[in-house]
Amino acid sequence: MSEFFKDGLARNYVAGDWVDGDEGARISVEDPGLETPVGDCALAGEASLAKALEGARKSFERGDLADMAPAALSRLMQRVANEIRAIADEGAELLCRESGKTLSAAGEEFEEAAQYFEYYGGVADKIEGKSIPLGPDYADYTVYEPFGVSAQIVPWNFPVSIAARSLAPSMAAGNSTIIKSPELDPMALAMLGVALERAEVPKGAVSILNGIGGDLGARLVASSEIDQIVFTGSVPTGQAILRAAADTVTPSLMELGGKSAAVVFEDANLDTVISSLQSGIFYNAGQVCSAMARVLVHRSIYDEAVARAAEMANGLSIGHGLDNPDHTPVASALQLDRVEELTSSAHQDGARIAAGGARLERTGHFMAPTILADVAPISRVAQEEIFGPVTCFTPFDTEAEAIAIANGTEFGLVAGIFTRDLARSHRVARKLRAGQVFVNEWFAGGISTPFGGVGKSGFGREKGLEALFNYVRTKNIAISLKE
Ligand code: NAD
């Protein structure tokens, strides 16, 4: 497959060329389900970064994407979507092995990535400005211009679909883009370069660099050669990047973590709640920024809800991602240590373990599907992001109390409401501090619905038409018509 994989090494896609790591640097990528190597990945260094930056700037100055006829840009993006689908089977197997997720979830990532290119390809010729009336002596209008070079830092939980989520609107707006892939699972994302190459995306318009966050990532975001930063990842890394961005005054988009709560009222359909919970906290082993990390349940149905959640968690099939079980390992030994340590603090804080609670004694980085009950809203486990297959149940008595608990963390990514009462669903949705509210189905919505946080969950929006305006800036042109 092109030059992507050579001599046992996945390579960097830099300004249209496949290159090895600078000075032969490479990292070994592990299969978290087997604890065996998947393969090696070349590590980009100073020389690759310089080549990517130069290629991106030159492509932008040539107007490769920004000056392309909008309809042609739409067609180019459709070709990228087609080429992503063409590599999806091979890519999904690689992603499954390097991330630990199920093969079907890995396939969904590639499909979602293709859909981002279709969606934003469909609007590349519809980025329209406004005409502003200033009376007969003036003509005034706005145009949306690309920033220039967009630097995009991607996390490991959904490397392919999150990369596409930012790259597609960036390209549609006419920017050049440099992606820094996550060091835990960079290989399937590097393969996205194959689709870009086959679709004949102009050289330099997109580069994908594999590199260590605190090294290559930090150098990329601190570079004075970039015009925008798009970061998806944890709060501490986002804060470090914002500090670097302050020095160069670089506009930034931050998609950070979450501790999202579902509020389950007494009239909720418990079957719906439990099926939502299964995907909400156990999909991708809970390594989802918008996971259903807290479940607040009206006291009258609380015991029944906890018992049914525990029964569901205990009944999940567990195994390697290639076998498509219900439950898969977390991404690394370090991640498992973090998840287990935070989960174990729950007991000291007075919570009860209704299911799971510790790692599983088997090969692979498996945390047991875990349901914590009677979790105090102010305890560590209810306040900090666990980023694993662990959720926290807490009872409530009144609507006002539920809203206060749901809003009582530093985060505000998504929230959920389960009720049959239409008026209550609208009323509570308005009061929840979150960028997106799901009613009666966790993860409702899709690529066309805006997504992003408030508070420490970040700022700016991805997905939907709304996201496009994070990748352009407005210019006003005011013309005097006076003699
Ligand atoms: P992380 O912050 O550790 O790493 C994210 C990326 O940043 C990686 O590519 C890493 O290499 C890079 N990085 C690390 N230090 C850097 C630095 N100093 N400068 C530049 N880049 C640097 O996050 P993670 O562990 O990969 O991902 C998990 C986190 O991401 C969770 O908090 C999760 O909630 C969040 N997340 C948010 C969203 C969202 O859309 N809001 C989506 C997915 C994940």
Which of 198, 205, 127, 116 lies closest to 161, judged by CA?
116
pLDDT digits (tens, 9 = 90+) for 177-222: 999 999 999 999 999 999 999 999 999 999 999 999 999 999 999 9
| Annotated catalytic residue, options 30, 255, 385, 462 | 255
pLDDT digits (tens, 9 = 90+) for 37-77: 999 999 999 999 999 999 999 999 999 999 999 999 999 99
Confidence class for position 23, pLDDT limits 50, 70, 90: confident
Q: At residue 332, does pLDDT exceed 80?
A: yes
Confidence class for position 110, pLDDT limits 50, 70, 90: very high
Residue nearest to atom 41 of ligand 1 (CA): 255
Give alpha helix (H) positions in 20-69: 46-62
Please tell me the distance from the alpha carbon of residue 271 to that of residue 281, in angstroms, as a whole number. 16
Please tell me the distance from the alpha carbon of residue 184 to that of residue 174, in angstroms, as a whole number. 30
Say what percent of the chain tops pLDDT 70: 100
Please tell me the distance from the alpha carbon of residue 311 to that of residue 315, in angstroms, as a whole number. 6
Strand partners, 399: none
**Do residues 438 and 415 touch, judged by C-beta distance below 8 A?**
yes
CA of residue 434 to ligand 1 center, whole Å: 20
> Which of 98, 152, 153 best tests ligand 1's pocket when mutated (most atoms within 8 Å of CB)?
153
Integer angstrom CA distances of residue 345 from 23, 157, 383: 44, 24, 12
Please tell me the distance from the alpha carbon of residue 155 to that of residue 150, in angstroms, as a whole number. 16
Q: At residue 8, does pLDDT exceed 90?
A: no
**Do residues 283 and 388 touch, judged by C-beta distance below 8 A?**
no
Can you state the angle between helices 159-172 and 70-99, rounded to 10 degrees? 170
Q: Read off the pLDDT of each residue in 348-370 and give the average, rounded to a whole number.
A: 97
Confidence class for position 1, pLDDT limits 50, 70, 90: low
Q: Could you tell me where the beta strands, DSSP code E, fall in 364-444?
A: 370-373, 390-396, 414-418, 436-439
Which tokens hold the place of 474?
């407005």
Which of 309, 295, 300 lies closest to 393, judged by CA?
295
Which of 122, 118, 153, 341 lies closest to 234, judged by CA?
153
Q: What's 264's DSSP letter?
A: E
Please give the pLDDT value at position 367.
98
Please tell me the distance from the alpha carbon of residue 313 to that of residue 321, in angstroms, as a whole number. 18
**Is 255 part of the annotated catalytic residue set?**
yes
Q: Read off the pLDDT of each residue in 363-390 and give the average, rounded to a whole number.
A: 98
**Do residues 445 and 451 touch, judged by C-beta distance below 8 A?**
yes
Least-confidence region, from 4-13, 99-108, 339-348: 4-13
What contacts 311, CB < 8 A, 6 or more positions away? none
Whether the model clears a pTM of 0.95, i.e. scores above it, the answer is: yes
Domains and CATH numbers, the chain: 5-256+460-475 (3.40.605.10), 261-446 (3.40.309.10)
Give alpha helix (H) positions in 63-102: 70-99
| Cα dihedral 326→332→89→109 (10° resolution) | 70
26-31 and 36-42: which strand pairing? antiparallel
Q: Read off the pLDDT of each residue in 115-125 and give the average, rounded to a whole number.
A: 98
Which of 310, 277, 356, 324 lies closest to 33, judged by CA?
324
pLDDT digits (tens, 9 = 90+) for 163-185: 999 999 999 999 999 999 999 99
Q: What's 456's DSSP letter?
A: G
CB distance 460 to ligand 1 below 6 Å: no
pLDDT digits (tens, 9 = 90+) for 462-478: 999 999 999 999 999 99
- Chain mean pLDDT for the chain: 97
CB distance 159 to ligand 1 below 6 Å: no
Please give the pLDDT value at position 208.
98
Please give the pLDDT value at position 178.
98
